[in-house]
């Protein structure tokens, strides 16, 4: 009644078109709803080519310099508890560091969680490589080396975990299903064993050195040196001696100028055994992300930094008379650095860490000092480990040779200072080596756990509030315990 014949037909046609269109939708519905992720590669397509393997290994190296590995968390866990360092900055800023300085920290401290997270995030990157690279069809030698590099980093992260927490969840493979998500702590003996296995594997594959374009990758020397340190923490003195002897045969040497050793110009020097590469990278903002130097830089000074983790009076006093390493390790308020920076005579802190110091005039894109590499293992430490192992095994001549090599370099040609150690009394020599480690490796995030593994925690730190039987280990982060619903237990004294 509403349509002329013609219009009705045209309507019918139109309707047919729309209904057909609807049917077309239906027939191709599987395509229409099949949408790939945008701007993200699907994981299925990754770990297929050699290039993928390369990128994955690169991520492991890059991740070593991120905030939760090198900045606040490392300061809180590995530096401030020691007698050589304290919070710094201004009194009201980041006061939680004081809890670590005076041993009142609890399992709820954010920095403990951050430290834990940082290590495990790195371990995941390594596990991805170790598990996913083997099936890739690629250069066999390169494949073996990539896996060895990942194993080294994994061992390094587990080393940092086990000495801080003792038993920790040990993940050597990727989780396959929900049951792998929540695993309990593995006894520390097994963690140490896993670390040693990784380092043994790595040292057997890694080359002693690389062409210039690959400088910064981990070497055989790095794997041996870290293995020596791992053995030293377990008092396996024969192993320490063995591994350090091997490193000493690889052509490393001490860099003559102790102060200059820590400057950008002398990165990856002959003394460098393992060094985290940090670079100011114009045009790649996110990659210029090391804040290691920034957080420790001279406070309230343009080009300086935030001024955390500052040397204590105790460290100043620890140096022998006229030891040049004191001035090379500590920036004193009011001094002019060898690079010509005048440090203001007033300010919140009398001292700053000079080993992380980057001259104020060095340009940066994101963070002050983003260019500074982080020296993790130096040849000097290899010598000191060698000396300690030799002494523990009763070989004082070798111990003295290695120890005095370090002192000789520190002397800088000035025969009037830092005389050679001559004692062959094992206890005296042990103490001399301990002392040498304190001053040689000062402000290099080694002191606290070094004293703990020497069994002297209470003796050295009790005046700061250290409680024996408790503070040798950090508490497991409370959030982890909550999330584990009982699978994770707490360390003694923290609950």
Partner 1 sequence: MKRLFTHSLFGIVLCFLFVNFALAQNAITVSGKVTDAQGLGLPAVSVSVKGTNKGTQTNAEGSFSLQASVGNTLVFSYLGFQTKEVQVTGSTLNVQLIETSTALEQVVVIGYGVQKKLDVTGAVAQVKGEEISKQSVPNAVSALQGKVAGVQITNSGSAGTSPQIRIRGLGTVYGDANPLYVVDGTWYNDIGFLNPSDIESINILKDASSTAMYGVRASNGVVLITTKRGKGDTRITYNGYVGLQTINNTIKMANASQYATLINELNNTPTFANPDAFGNGTDWMTAVTRNSFTTNQYLTVSGGSEKSSYNFSIGYFGQGGNVEKNQYDRITARLQNDILATKFLKIGYNAILENKKSTDVPDDIIYKAVTAAPVVPVRYADGSWGDPADYPVGNVPSNPALQLDVFTQESKGRRITGSAFAEFYIVKGLTFKTNFGAEYNEIDRRTYNPVYNYDTELGAATHTQYNQISLLTINQDENNNWIWENTLTYEKTLDKHRFTLLGGLSAQRYKNYFIEGSARNVPNSTSGDIYLALGDNDTRTLKDGGDLSTAQSYFGRINYVYNDKYLLNASFRADGSSKFSQDDKWGYFPSVGIGWVISREEFMKKFDFINELKIRGSWGIVGNSGIQTNISTLTVDQKPEFTAVFGGLPYTGANITSIVPPVLVWERGNGTDFAIEGAFMNNRLTAELDWYNRTTERAIFPIPVLTSLGTTSSQLIGNQADIRNRGFEFSLGWKDGNKSNFTYSLNANLSINNNKVTNVESGENPIYAGGDAATGGQLSTITVQGEPIGQFYGLVVDGIFQNDAEVAASAQPDASPGDFKYHDKDGNGIIDARDREVIGNPNPKYMYGINTSFAYKAFDLAVDFQGVAGVDIYNANKGVRFGSENYSEDFYNNRWHGAGTSNSYPSANVGGGQNYVPNSWYVENGSYFRIRNIQLGYTFDTKLISKWKMQKVRVYVNAQNPITFFSYTGFNPEVGTAKNDVGGTPKTINTGIDRGVYPLYATYNFGLNVTF
Phi, psi of 440 (to 5 degrees): -70, -40
Out of 5, 137, 302, 336, the only residue in the binding site for partner 1 (CB under 8 A) is 302
Q: Contact between 492 and partner 1 (CB under 8 A)? A: no
- The minimum distance between CB 106 and partner 1, in angstroms, equals 6
Strands (E) located in 349-476: 351-353, 374-378
Q: Contact between 286 and partner 1 (CB under 8 A)? A: yes
Instruction: Round to whole Å and give the CA distance between 431 and 449.
Output: 16
CA angle in degrees (0–180, nearest 5) for 444-447-453: 135
65 vs 229 by CB, closer to partner 1: 65
Q: Which residue has the tokens 């495990």?
A: 120
User: What would the x/- binding string for partner 1 be over residues 37 to 76, using CB under 8 A?
Assistant: xxxxxxxxxx-----x-xxxxxxxxxx--x----------
Out of 9, 20, 22, 134, the only residue in the binding site for partner 1 (CB under 8 A) is 22
Q: Contact between 95 and partner 1 (CB under 8 A)? A: yes
Q: Contact between 494 and partner 1 (CB under 8 A)? A: yes
Q: Which residue has the tokens 């102790």?
A: 258
Cβ(254)–Cβ(380) under 8 Å?
yes
Bridge partners of 331, per DSSP, are: 352
Instruction: Round to whole Å and give the CA distance between 44 and 248.
Output: 44
Cα 486 to Cα 300, 398, 481: the distances in Å are 46, 50, 7
307 vs 457 by CB, closer to partner 1: 307
Cβ(409)–Cβ(254) under 8 Å?
yes
Angle between helix axes 379-392 and 220-233 (nearest 10 degrees) is 40
**H or E element in which residue 233 lies:** helix 220-233
Q: Contact between 345 and partner 1 (CB under 8 A)? A: no
Q: Contact between 14 and partner 1 (CB under 8 A)? A: yes
Instruction: Round to whole Å and give the CA distance between 167 and 148.
Output: 24
- The minimum distance between CB 257 and partner 1, in angstroms, equals 21
Q: Which stretch binds partner 1 (CB under 8 A): 24-32, 250-258, 405-413, 447-455?
A: 24-32
Out of 142, 215, 260, 393, the only residue in the binding site for partner 1 (CB under 8 A) is 215
Q: Contact between 222 and partner 1 (CB under 8 A)? A: no
- The minimum distance between CB 155 and partner 1, in angstroms, equals 15
Q: Contact between 88 and partner 1 (CB under 8 A)? A: no
Site for partner 1 in 133-172 (CB under 8 A): 168-169, 171
Q: Which stretch binds partner 1 (CB under 8 A): 393-401, 408-416, 427-435, 471-479?
A: 471-479
3-state secondary structure of 88: strand
Q: Which stretch binds partner 1 (CB under 8 A): 103-111, 138-146, 230-238, 349-357?
A: 103-111
């Amino acid at each position: 009644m509403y349509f002329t014949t013609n219009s009705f037909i045209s309507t019918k046609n139109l309707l047919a078109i729309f209904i057909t269109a609807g049917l077309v939708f239906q027939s191709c519905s599987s395509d229409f709803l099949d949408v790939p992720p945008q701007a993200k590669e699907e994981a299925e397509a990754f770990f297929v080519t050699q290039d993928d393997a390369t990128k994955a290994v690169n991520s492991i190296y890059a991740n070593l310099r991120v905030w939760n590995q090198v900045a606040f968390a490392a300061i809180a866990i590995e530096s401030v508890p020691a007698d050589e360092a304290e919070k710094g900055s201004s009194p009201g800023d980041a006061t939680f560091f004081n809890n670590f300085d005076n041993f009142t920290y609890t399992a709820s401290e954010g920095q403990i969680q951050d430290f834990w997270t940082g290590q495990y995030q790195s371990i995941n990157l390594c596990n991805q490589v170790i598990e996913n690279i083997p099936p890739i069809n690629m250069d066999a030698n390169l494949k073996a080396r990539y896996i060895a590099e990942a194993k080294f980093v994994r061992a390094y992260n587990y080393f940092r975990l086990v000495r801080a927490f003792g038993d920790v969840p040990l993940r050597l493979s990727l989780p396959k299903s929900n049951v792998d998500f929540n695993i309990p702590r593995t006894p520390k003996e097994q963690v140490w064993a896993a670390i040693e296995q990784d380092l043994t594997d790595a040292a057997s594959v890694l080359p002693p050195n690389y062409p210039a374009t690959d400088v910064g990758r981990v070497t055989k020397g790095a794997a041996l040196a870290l293995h020596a340190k791992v053995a030293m923490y377990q008092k396996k003195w024969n192993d320490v001696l063995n591994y350090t002897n091997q490193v000493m045969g690889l052509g490393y040497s001490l860099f003559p100028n102790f102060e200059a050793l820590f400057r950008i110009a002398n990165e990856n020097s002959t003394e460098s055994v393992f060094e985290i590469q940090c670079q100011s990278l114009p045009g790649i903002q996110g990659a210029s992300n090391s804040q290691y130097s920034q957080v420790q830089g001279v406070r309230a000074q343009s080009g300086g930094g935030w001024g955390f983790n500052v040397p204590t009076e105790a460290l100043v006093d620890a140096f022998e008379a006229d030891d040049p390493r004191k001035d090379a390790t500590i920036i004193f308020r009011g001094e002019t650095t060898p690079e010509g920076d005048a440090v203001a005579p007033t300010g919140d802190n009398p001292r700053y860490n000079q080993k992380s110091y980057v001259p104020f005039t060095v340009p940066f894109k994101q963070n002050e000092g983003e260019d500074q590499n982080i020296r993790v293992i130096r040849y000097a430490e290899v010598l000191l480990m060698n000396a300690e192992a030799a002494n523990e095994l009763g070989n004082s001549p070798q111990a003295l040779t290695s120890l005095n090599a370090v002192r000789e370099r520190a002397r800088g040609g000035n025969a009037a200072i830092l005389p050679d150690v001559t004692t062959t009394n094992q206890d005296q020599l042990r103490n001399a080596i301990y002392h040498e480690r304190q001053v040689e490796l000062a402000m290099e995030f080694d002191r606290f756990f070094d004293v703990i593994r020497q069994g002297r925690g209470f003796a050295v730190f009790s005046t700061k509030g250290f409680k024996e039987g408790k503070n040798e280990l950090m508490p497991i982060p409370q959030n982890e315990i909550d999330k584990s619903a009982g699978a994770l237990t707490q360390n003694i004294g923290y609950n």
